[in-house]
Amino acid sequence: MEDSFDEKLAHYIEIGAIEAAGIDESGEFIFAINESAQELAPELWEAHMHFVDQSLIELYEAGYLKVDYNEDLEATISLSPEGFEIAKARGIIPMDMPEIPND
């Protein structure tokens, strides 16, 4: 099973759907899924979007994410500091994104 994962990862990197984005504090590589995955690896993109959607729903249900709408019904999403750290740890926002300002 591990070989299959490694083979898929190597394939996605080779076609440009995934790229190495950095190294975490423990020395593990951090990978990012590029928007080009929509065309190059639609199954990967779909799984990624499902993960992001589920993570956002969980953050909302836990009270870490707030959604406000303006008069044009355009949504603005805000995260609590705890939600920001969880989202960062899950990889749904960039690891190098600076801390969110306190309101």
Contacts by residues 81-85 (CB-CB < 8 Å, ≥ 24 positions apart): 83/59
**Span 67-91, pLDDT tens digits:** 999 999 999 999 999 999 899 888 8
Q: Is 93 helix (H, G, I), strand (E, B) or coil?
A: coil
Task: Calculate the CA 55 to chain-centre distance.
Answer: 9
Residue 43 phi, psi dihedral angles, 5° rounding: -65, -35
CB atoms within 10 A of CB 58: 14
Question: DSSP letter at 14?
Answer: H
Task: Please give the full DSSP string across 20-72, using - where no structure is assigned.
Answer: EEEE-TTS-EEEEE-TTHHHH-HHHHHHHHHHHHHHHHHHHHTTSEEEEE-TT
- pTM, rounded to two decimals: 0.76
- Looking at mean pLDDT, say which of 21-30, 46-55, 90-99 comes out highest: 46-55
